[in-house]
Chain A
Amino acid sequence: MKTLIGAVTSVRAQILVGAALLACLVLLLVMSNHTGQREFRELKQALDELETQNIRMDGSIFLLAFEMHTDFDVLTAQQKDLRETALALASILPDGERAILAPAERKLLMVEDFKSEQSILRNSRAIAHEMIERLWTGPGVDSPATRDALFAVERAFLDFLARRDPKAANRLRAVLENPAVGSAVTDLEEWDVLRAHSLNLIDYIDRLTRLMQSPPFIELPVAIFEQNARLTARLAETSAAASRYRSALFVVALLLLAFSAVMVARVRGYLQAIARANNDLESRVARRTQELADVNAALRREIAERESVESQLRIAQKLESIGQLAAGVAHEINTPTQYVSDNVSFLSAVWKDLTPVLEDYERIALRGEADPARSRRIWSEADVPFLSKEVPAALRQSSAGLQQITRIVLAMKNFSHPGSDALQPADLNRAIESTATVARNEWKYVAELTLDLDPDLPLVPCNVSAFNQVVLNLLINAAQAVEEARPKGELGHIRVATRTRAECVEISVEDDGPGIADAIRDRIFDPFFTTKEVGKGTGQGLAISHRVIHGQHGGTLSVEPAPQGRGARFVIRLPQGRLEERGACPALTAADAM
């Protein structure tokens, strides 16, 4: 020690030692500040990636299940990507093997099962159908008993495909196993194939349904969510640890400074005064820095907590809206299916009723065996006037029903279009129409929806699936607002309009609900702000919409005074043209909007 102090007696050496010490301190400070955070960001990115990949994979499963995608390559590539991300996470996340990799593997196995079941199901359905076709053109169909049997089989088969429920399955099984039906059918090979595939189909549909409801399906998103929450908690801990570490560094720094001050004091009298002043200043600076660091750590903790809650809510909201929509669409498809199915039953009965008439006609027209009395009896028994009125109506209604189903499926396809995050020129009118169709169940019982779409609306750069979510959100909000306000038994009004403006396009969603009180107007885009009862919504919808429109699209989302002075009016403005060169697109002031 003596020699060391002896060695640093020159002023230059002392200054050098001081500078080196300071540099070390700064370096240590910076490092203790950043290492934890970088690791955190990496983990969080990987988790977010996994979440996105999982959602994309679910999207593919959905498209395959509805037969909108026809091969497994995309899904298989997504499985590979997801496994890679999960493996990477398992290696950097403490406990990642159990917490992330295991649920991911279970999900991947489930997806494998899905592919196996889905491909067999398609075949059995197609082959059974083909056998029915063949039986109808086989030699035996001349006999009424055979025709009756085939009617019964085909009706039960189509009915089962439309309903896919255990009751319809039991009816189909009963028909297939009915010995009277079996003995009426003459083409034995086709009959056996039809039976085998129909029974197979009942089994597979049941298995597939159970598979899609099995726990591994949602176990993974839940695991991701839990990890996210844990990660956030850990960040708070590490930043607390880092600040403790920093305090220790300061103590050391002070000691070193004191040491050097003492040393300097011993060597040079005039340096003593300067050293003391210096020492004083340094300790003041250090105290001040310490205070700042404490405030900083507290802030970071708070932000981390907020982010954790926010991401929980984002997932909750996503699941909530997917669930709601799925239920709605199922209902929308079910209703027309039901009446098409009923109409078909009716039409089969009609055919039975008409058969005597046709046979009578055959006797008259082709064999010349006229018997007016018989014809009159048959004619009135069949009640032809009634049928000639009802049959076209039934056909019209069925046709409309099927078109309705087609439309919904197409809308679903447009809506769920798995896009990238990039902005691409998009037809917003079409997006709005699809969203309105998909969300029909949300509004049709409470409001009349008017779409007032500008036919000359230009394409604008847009991430359609995010935009759809925003419009969906506004529509659901409007429907809930209208529901609160409307008198019993009356429908409210929702109007969605698009307009072309100078620099941008404008999409407005208006309702005649209670409107938005001035007092809360400024807060409705805050995360967590909600006026709904607990359980009705997470209060994240508008905040997320706001972020999508402002952050992702560089547009604006604002509330404006409603035109009739009643209800709420939300306006989205999206800039036209390319991202780099687009102009500002400011929200109009209240006066402009009038």
Chain B
Amino acid sequence: MLLPLLAAALLSCSDQHSRSDFAAYDFGMPEPPAAGSITPLPPPPPADPAKVRLGKALYNDTRLSADDSISCATCHDLGRGGDDGRRYSIGVGGAATAVNAPTVLNSSLNLAQFWDGRALTLEAQVAETVQNPTEMGGDWSVIERRLRDDESMVEQFARVYGTRPGRDEIIDATATYLRALVTPDSPFDRYLRGDAAAIGDGARRGYETFVDLGCISCHQGRNVGGNLFQRFGVMGDYFEDRGSLVAADYGRFNVTGREQDRFRFKVPSLRNVAATAPYFHDGSAATLDEAVRAMIRYQLGRPADDEQVERLGDFLRSLSGELDESLL
């Protein structure tokens, strides 16, 4: 009775032994779920259009900086993916920022703001950025005075808030604008909603690779990231290899002071990532290709071939969405 079975087993593995011994593990085992999932971006929250317009004006207003030289848009240019394409940004008086500027697009969907998550809300983020000496170095009383001298500003604030321009209203309007900066309808989102032709073959296989290699267990959810903190250098010492450690490299440790948070950063959203080179908190990866290879080496510690890297690039490029024109 056993002989035919044995013969079959033998024929199938006479030149290459397979693991028929462990086949028992396949019996009745449920398929393991994919390690994560990506969902389409939700539409931006409803907001008063006049307030969004005011926020947009403030976002582009250099009067928010100490010497009236730069605005939010200087470092977060919506025409180039919501950042400035530099490794470190240049603030008032030529000071360089300690970390790479992340994009503002979809940032309202992140669990917290900044690489180390030190601001829990966009309001806290705006309040800090305007005053930060290496960014805008602004002084609220000076900013309020400047805006109150401007008739059209006074009129807009009166219409939206019924008050004169003030710190809290400036912050509120800017944060409202930031919340509107959502980029729905990327090719990949259309694909997720059932339009099979929205992405090409490369991107589709790139997505499979993204799941198979394990990228998805950190970069997942609606923002393809942005919902957890994770160590940079899980499977290899990134900082040792890069050298010259600075305070900003300690990441979330600088906020919580807990040892386990050393070198942990907010996992960045990969939406629109194709447009936001250079990459990482230190801007060390100049191209998407380099960034992907670093991820494979330091976060996954596993082999991967050039073709896989290329396909991952195709997939990541399909994550770029559209911003409503009225917001630009």
Q: A230 at interface (Cβ–Cβ under 8 A)?
A: no
CB of A197 within 8 A of CB of B7, answer no
Q: What distance in Å separates the Cβ of A78 from its nearest Cβ neighbour in chain B?
A: 11
Select which of B17, B18, B228, B303 is within 8 A of A115 by beta carbon. Answer: B228
Q: Taking CB as reference atom, which chain B residue is nearest A72?
A: B227
A141 cross-chain contacts in B, Cβ below 8 A: 16-17
Q: Is the CB of A70 within 8 A of B36?
A: yes
Are the C-beta atoms of B17 and A142 separated by less than 8 Å? Answer: yes
Q: Contact check, B21 vs A151: say whether CB atoms are below 8 A apart.
A: yes
Is A366 in contact with chain B by the CB < 8 A criterion? yes
Measured in the bound complex, the distance between the Cα atoms of B39 and A350 in whole Å is 47
Select the residue from A76, A398, A399 with max chain B CB neighbours within 10 A: A76
Quick one: given A127-B300, A136-B19, A362-B10, are A70 and B27 in contact (CB under 8 Å)? no
Q: Which residue of A lies closest to B17 (CB)?
A: A141
Q: Is B1 an interface residue (CB 8 A)?
A: yes
CB atoms of B218 and A200 under 8 A apart: no
Those of B226-251 within 8 Å (CB) of chain A? 227-231, 234-235
Can you name the residue of chain B whose Cβ is closest to the Cβ of A211?
Answer: B260
B255-276 to A contact mask, C-beta < 8 Å, 1/0? 0101010001000000000000
Q: With an 8 A cutoff between CB atoms, is A183 at the interface?
A: no
Per the CB 8 Å criterion, the residue count for chain B at the interface is 51
A347→B35 contact, CB < 8 A: no
Query: Does A14 make an interface contact (CB < 8 A)?
Result: no
Within 8 A of B (CB), among A299-345: 340, 343-344
Known: A358-B10, A361-B10. A68 touches B33 (CB 8 A): yes
Complex contacts, A164 vs chain B, CB 8 Å: none
Cβ of B2 < 8 Å from any Cβ of A?
yes
Cβ 8 A contact of A71, one of B220, B258, B303: B220
Q: How far is the CB of A132 from chain B (nearest CB, A)?
A: 9
Q: Which of A100-125 contact B (CB under 8 A)?
A: 109, 112-113, 115-116, 119-120, 122-123
How near does chain A come to B185, taking the closest CB pair, in angstroms? 19
Interchain CA distance A80-B221 in the complex, whole Å = 16
A119–B28 CA distance with the chains assembled, in angstroms: 26
Majority secondary structure of chain A interface residues (helix, strand, loop or mixed): helix
B1-27 vs A: 1/0 string, CB under 8 Å?
110001101100010111111101101
1/0 contact string of B294-309 vs chain A (CB within 8 Å): 0000001111000000
Q: Are B35 and A122 in contact (CB under 8 A)?
A: yes
A384 to B2, Cβ gap below 8 A? Answer: yes
Q: Is the CB of B27 within 8 A of A398?
A: yes
Asked if B214 CB lies within 8 Å of chain A CBs, one says yes
Instruction: Indicate with 1 or 0, residue by residue over A147-167, a CB within 8 angstroms of chain B CB atoms.
Output: 100010010001000000000
Whether the pair A126, B214 counts as a contact (CB closer than 8 A) is yes
Which of A116, A127, A348 has a CB less than 8 Å from the CB of B21? Answer: A348
Residues of A within 8 A of B (CB): 67-68, 70-73, 76, 79-80, 83, 109, 112-113, 115-116, 119-120, 122-123, 126-127, 130-131, 136-137, 141-142, 147, 151, 154, 158, 189-190, 193, 196-197, 200, 340, 343-344, 347-348, 350-351, 354, 357-358, 361-362, 365-366, 384, 387-388, 394-395, 398-400, 402-403, 406, 409
Known pairs A126-B214, A200-B235, A358-B6. 14 more at Cβ < 8 A?
Answer: A70-B33, A70-B35, A72-B227, A73-B221, A115-B229, A119-B35, A119-B228, A137-B18, A141-B17, A347-B21, A348-B21, A357-B6, A358-B10, A362-B14
10 A/B residue pairs, CB under 8 Å, sorted by A: A70-B35, A73-B227, A80-B111, A116-B231, A123-B217, A189-B303, A351-B21, A358-B10, A362-B10, A399-B27
Q: 8 closest A-B pairs (Cβ-Cβ)?
A: A399-B27, A123-B214, A73-B221, A351-B21, A115-B228, A119-B217, A402-B28, A76-B227
Which chain B residues have a beta carbon within 8 Å of chain A's beta carbons? 1-2, 6-7, 9-10, 14, 16-22, 24-25, 27-30, 32-39, 111, 120, 214, 217-218, 220-222, 227-231, 234-235, 256, 258, 260, 264, 300-303
